Structure 1
Amino acid sequence: MKQFIVKCCKVGFLFYLLLWLIQIVIDTGLRQSEDDTYYNWNKLYNGGINADILFLGSSRTLKHYDPQIFDEKLNVYSYNLGSNGSAYDIQKIKRNAYLRNNSKPELIVLNVDIGSLSKSSEIYNKKQFLPYYSLKNYKDMSNIDASVFYEYLFPMSKYRENFDLISLSVKSLIGIEEKNLNTIKGFSGSNQKWNNSFENRLKELNGKKFDYSKFNYKERLSFFETEVLDINQSKIPLLLVWAPEYVGRQYLESDILDKTIRDVKNVANKYDGVEFIDFTKDSICYDTYYFYNSYHLNKIGATKFSNMVSDSINKYFKKVKKSD
C-alpha cells in the first residue's frame, strides 16, 4: 500500500511538472505573438518601447491620444498604453511592468475620469495578462480576482477556458500566425460617427442621473493619490488630463463631477512635477461631430484633441526645464 501511494505521488508530481512545461511553452508562444492582444504587451516586456512620452489610462486613452501627432509636433517618441476596461488598479500593473523593462519616460500623461477611479470588480479581457503571470504582478492581480491564486498555483488552469490562445501560441511558435494589429503605437482611433447609445442610455435612466451611492469616493481618491505619488517618487514628470466628455454625459455625472475635478486638481498641486489640465469645459464637449459616444472621441475628435494636448505639453516641458 505504501509503495502504491509513493508511486501515485511520483506520477502526480511528474504530471504536475509536465503541465508546467506545457504552460511555459504556451506562454512562450504568446509572448512572441503579433496578435493585437499581445503585440504591445510583448513590446513592453521586451523593452522595445522606451518612449519619451507615455500615455496611460483606460479606453479613453486608447482612443484619444494619437502618438503620431505628438511625435510630429514635439519631436519626441511617444507611445499609447491605454487599454479597454482599465481602472487605475489595473493600469498600475501595466505601468509597473513598463518601468521594469523600459527606460523611464521624460513625461507620463495619465488620463483622468470617474470611470478610471472606480474599483475593478474583475480583470477585463483577462486573457491579455495570462502569458505574463509573475510574482511581481501577483499581488495586484489577486487583489482584483481571487481566482488568480489558483491560476498561479495550478499550471494550465489559467488556460482552462482559452483554447483559442493555445492554438494562437502554436501558430506563433511554428511561424504560421497571421499578423493581426489594429493599433498604431498603441493608439486605436475610431472612424465611427455619433451613435445612439447616449440617447438609449437616457431612456433607461428615465430622467435620473448616474447613481454613485455605492461608489466609495474617499477610498478611490486615496488610491488615485497613491498612484500619483508613486509616479512622482519615480522622478517622472506627470501630466494629468481630463479628456473631453460630451456635455450631456457631464450632466449625468454632475453629482460628483465638479468635486472630483477639484480634488484631482488639489492632488496635482501637492506635488512638484505634477500638472493637471481639464478639458471638460472646452468647446469640443458641445459638438457630437467629434464623438462616437458620450465618453469617447472619434478619430476626428482625437486628432483635434491630440493637437491641443501637444500644445499643452510643449508649454509644460518648457516649465519643467526652467525648474530643473
Structure 2
Amino acid sequence: MERFIKKGVLLSLIFFIFSFIFLKVVDFGLKKERLGWIKEGNVNAEVLILGSSRAYRHFNSDFLSKTLGMKFFNLGYDASGLETQLVLLEYYLKNNATPKIIVWEYNYGFLNFDPNVYEYIDLIPLVDDPLVSDYLIDHEIISERILYFPLSRYLVYKELIKKGLNNLSKDEPFKDYKIQDLNWDKHNLEKLYLNSDYKIEKEISNQYLNQYRNTIDKLKNIGVKVVMVFTPIYSGIYQKEDDKVLLLDFYDSLFFSVKVLNINYNDSDLSRDTLNFYNVLHMNKKGVDSFMVDFERDIKRSLDE
C-alpha cells in the first residue's frame, strides 16, 4: 500500500512538473503577441496609438514610423470602451518609456457608460500584472482563485494554448495593427443601421468624463501631448437621424476645454466611397492606405503649429 501511495505521489509530481513546463512554454509563446511584447519593455514608442477597433484597424504604424521618422505603436483594442483603454494605457506606461505623443481615437460612444468588457481573451495572458487581474476580477471575467496558480488560466481559456504554441516558431512579434483587406458589405449598413431600431444616443457618463479629464491632466503633467482623432466613417450612416451630430459637437467642446488637439475626419472625402470600407465603421486596406497619407500630412501640420 505504501509503495502504491509513493508511486501515485511520484506520478502526480511528474504530471505537475510537466504541466508547469508546458504552460510556461505556452506563456512564452504568448509573449510574442502584441500585448505580450509590451510587458517585455521592448516597445518604447515615441507615438502611442490608443482607442477601439477603429484605432487597431485604421492606423498603419509601420507606414507612420517610416514617413514621420518616429516610432509608432498601435495599442488599439477591438470593442474596447474607455475603461479597457485606460487599463491598457496604464499597463503600457508601467512597462515602457513615456511616449511623446498619444494619438487617441474616439467615436460616438467614446464616453457612453458600458460595464461590459468585450473581446477580453487577449487580456488573459496579462493577469500576472495586478492592473489587469484586478480589472478582470472586478468585472467578474476571472476568479481570484486563478491568482494562486496564474498559469492555470490557460486550462480555462484553451484557445490560448494553441495560439501560444503556434507563436513559438515566430521570430518577431505580430504586427501591431489589424488592417482588413475586405470588400464592402452593404448588408451591414442596411441590416444593422438603416433597417433596425438601433440608434446612436448621447448618453455621456459623468464617471467616464471625469476619468478622461483626469487622464488628460496626468498625461500633460508627464509631458505627453494628446491628439484626439475621429477616423473616417461611412457617410451613409447619416441617412438615419439620431444623436451623431450632437455627440460630435459635444466632443469638439470637450477637447477644446481640456486643450487637446482634435482631428475629425467625419467629413473626409474617404467617407463617401464604399470602396474604402468593409463595413460602416471600419475601412479596408484601400481606405487605410489613403487615410494614412491624409493623417501623416495632418498630424505633421498639427504638431508643427
TM over 0.5, shorter chain: yes
Quick one: which of 63, 66, 69 aligns to 2:60? 66
Kindly state the Cα deviation for residue 266 of structure 1 after the two structures are TM-superposed.
2.4
Tell whether 2:87 aligns with 1:98. Answer: no
- Counterparts of 2:112 and 2:26, CA distance in 1: 30
Which runs of 5 or more structure 1 residues have no equivalent in the other structure? 1-10, 320-324
How many residue pairs match? The answer is: 291
Quick one: which of 178, 183, 187 aligns to 1:193? 183
Tell whether 2:118 aligns with 1:128. Answer: no
Per the alignment, residue 137 of structure 2 pairs with: 142
Quick one: which of 153, 163, 168 aligns to 1:177? 168
Matches within 5 A, 1:1-324: 28-33=24-29, 39-133=33-127, 134-145=129-140, 147-152=142-147, 158-166=153-161, 169=164, 171=165, 177-179=168-170, 184=175, 186-196=176-186, 197-202=188-193, 204-205=195-196, 208-210=197-199, 212=201, 215=203, 217-252=205-240, 254-272=241-259, 274-319=260-305
Deviations 1:262-308 (A, max 9, x none): 22222322335x21111111221111111110000111111111111
SS at match of 2:213: helix
CA root-mean-square deviation: 3.2
Identity of aligned residues (%): 19
SS at match of 1:85: coil
- Counterparts of 1:150 and 1:119, CA distance in 2: 29
Q: Which moved more, 1:156-165 or 1:47-56?
A: 156-165
Question: TM-score under structure 2 normalisation?
Answer: 0.81
Q: Which moved more, 1:61-70 or 1:143-152?
A: 143-152
Question: TM-score under structure 1 normalisation?
Answer: 0.77
- Counterparts of 1:260 and 1:122, CA distance in 2: 21
Kindly state the Cα deviation for residue 211 of structure 1 after the two structures are TM-superposed.
5.6
Aligned-partner residue type, residue 298 of structure 1:
N
Change (3 A) 1:59 1:167: closer
SS at match of 1:292: coil
Aligned-partner residue type, residue 177 of structure 2:
F
Aligned-partner residue type, residue 135 of structure 2:
D
Deviations 1:200-230 (A, max 9, x none): 224641xx451648x4544443443333334
Which runs of 5 or more structure 2 residues have no equivalent in the other structure? 1-8
- Counterparts of 1:211 and 1:241, CA distance in 2: 19
